[in-house]
Amino acid sequence: MVVAFLWFTLASAAAHASTSDSWGMWQGDAAHTGFVADAFVGSSVRQSWRVAAQTNAIRGLAASSTMVFTTVDPHLQQLGMQQTLVAQDLGDGHSVWTITFPLNTKIGTPAYADGKVFITEHHYSGFSEDAYYIDAFDAASAAPIFQQQIFPPTAYVAPTIANGHVYFVEATSGSVEGVFASLSELTGILDWTSDTQYPNGRMPVFVDDQLYGFSTTLNILDAPTGAFRAPIAHPNDTSDLSVGLTPTVIGSAAYTTHGYRLVAFDLPTKSVNWSVDLGATGQISTDGHDLFFLSSGALTVRDAQTGALKWGWEAPQPGVGVTVGVSDNMIVTRTHVILSDSSSTYFIDRATRMLDSSHAAFGLLAYAGHKVITADTKGVVTAFSVGSDVVFSDSFE
């Protein structure tokens, strides 16, 4: 079947039962905290299925309560490899549908919300003018819902979907550090494009009807209108870009890794509350009390109010000839921190602060339908079933 701007093939889409949990976008949801309010029995982790979903390296992962969505590295298109958006059944990993894009197309990381899958799309051909879009597809059938042209160039990151809107970044001067924009989740019609003095960052964070982004300053925008609320500068470093994809917001504070520091911003006073000088890099995850991030390549946990160090954990040293690099795409639950390097996925017990179990799967991480999902650089998606400690979960505070 041919559609105006793509081809898609449908493979036996069956009806699915609905559950409440999903990993709709980068670090879970529109706040991008990486937190899952579940308690696991670590010893209960079992591989549920393992399927070669893509023929190339997976660079995008999202999941609903019944399906897993993946995309490949957009830069592989330059080697003549077509881009594909693949949907798998979360229960057993079988292919539900695949959308194959034309050769002159790059696509970004998928995001899922309200029964729809969203991606950014970049068309180009020779010396003609490039075209950039946000696409929406029906998650169950792959049927196109809308394709909205946006201003170029756009970054290959997932949009943030919240309150009926799709928030995304439009880059400036060829950089991924750009301006934020919003369009209607229902129709694809553009709502607004922000006009701020400083770049807004690489991906919007949505919390309480406000958008937050960080490049060289923490920018705050009104989500419904795009009105610029305030910038907050980090006075010790006014030039370096943030090394995290998004800031992390807890109540009246925001956090980012910037200039290899962990920086806490006080939102009411629009100032820096504290800054810890260490080798901090990448995305910060949080359960609302502690901050989980990488420092010199190791998991580090600090108190969100004071910045005081609580504990840390370092992945085992790899064997000869094996490279290792822990990813900042981590999952924080009430009982465990789950993270991955270039060979394994680790379940770290938050009570004992020790390795609970490790598994020979690696890559991007997601959690949905009581399964931990990995998607690797070989195109393989693996799902692990995890037992939930209901008693512990209900009593956790």
What is the predicted pLDDT for the residue at 199?
A: 83
Question: For the chain, how many residues are written?
Answer: 397
Burial class (CB in 10 A: 0-12, 13-18, 19+), 5: middle
Q: What are phi and psi of 299, to 5 degrees?
A: -65, 130
Point out the residues of the chain with pLDDT beneath 70.
1-20, 42, 77-80, 125-129, 152-155, 172-176, 318-324, 389-397
Q: Are 263 and 256 in contact (CB under 8 A)?
A: yes
| Side chain identity, residue 301 | V
Tell me how far the alpha carbon of residue 356 is from its chain's centroid. 25
Q: Which residue has the tokens 């934020």?
A: 180
What is the predicted pLDDT for the residue at 125?
A: 66
What is the predicted pLDDT for the residue at 263?
A: 95
Name the maximum alpha-carbon separation found in the chain: 62
Q: Are 99 and 137 in contact (CB under 8 A)?
A: yes
* Pairwise CA distance, residues 296 & 240, whole Å: 18
Sheet holding 210-214, edge to edge: 205-207, 210-214, 217-222, 228-233
What is the predicted pLDDT for the residue at 96?
A: 97
Pairing of strands 58-63, 40-52: unpaired
Q: Are 300 and 280 in contact (CB under 8 A)?
A: yes
Instruction: Please name each of the domains of the chain with its CATH number.
Output: 2-13+20-395 (2.130.10.10)
Burial class (CB in 10 A: 0-12, 13-18, 19+), 365: buried
